[in-house]
Amino acid sequence: MKITEFQGEYRFLSNFWPCDITIVGVSYKSVEAAYQASKTTDLETRRGFSTVTPARAKAMGRGLAMRDGWGDMTKVECMECCLRAKFLIPEMKYALIATGDAELIEGNNWNDRFWGVCRGSGRNVLGKLLMMLRDELILHEAYYQSQATPADEICEHLHVDPNGGDVINDQDKPRTFTCYDDIPF
* pLDDT tens per residue across span 158-170: 444 444 444 333 4
Q: What does the pLDDT read at residue 155?
A: 42
DSSP the chain: -EE-SS-GGGGGGSTTSEEEEEETTEEEEEHHHHHHHTT---HHHHHTTTTS-HHHHHHHHHTSPPPTT-SHHHHHHHHHHHHHHHTTSHHHHHHHHTTTTPEE--EESS---SSSEETTB---HHHHHHHHHHHHHHHHHHHHHHS---HHHHHHHHTB-TTS-PBPTTTTSPPEEPPPTTS--
- CATH numbers and ranges of domains, the chain: 2-177 (1.10.357.40)
Q: What does the pLDDT read at residue 160?
A: 40
> What is the identity of the amino acid at 109?
N
Q: What does the pLDDT read at residue 5?
A: 97
In whole angstroms, what is the distance from residue 1 CA to residue 99 CA?
9
Confidence tier at 149 by pLDDT (50, 70, 90): low
Q: What is the pLDDT of residues 63-89, one digit of tens each?
A: 999 999 999 999 999 999 999 999 999
In whole angstroms, what is the distance from residue 128 CA to residue 2 CA?
13
Half-sphere exposure at residue 12, Cβ-oriented, CA atoms within 13 angstroms: 16
Mean of all residue pLDDT scores within the chain: 85
Confidence tier at 145 by pLDDT (50, 70, 90): confident
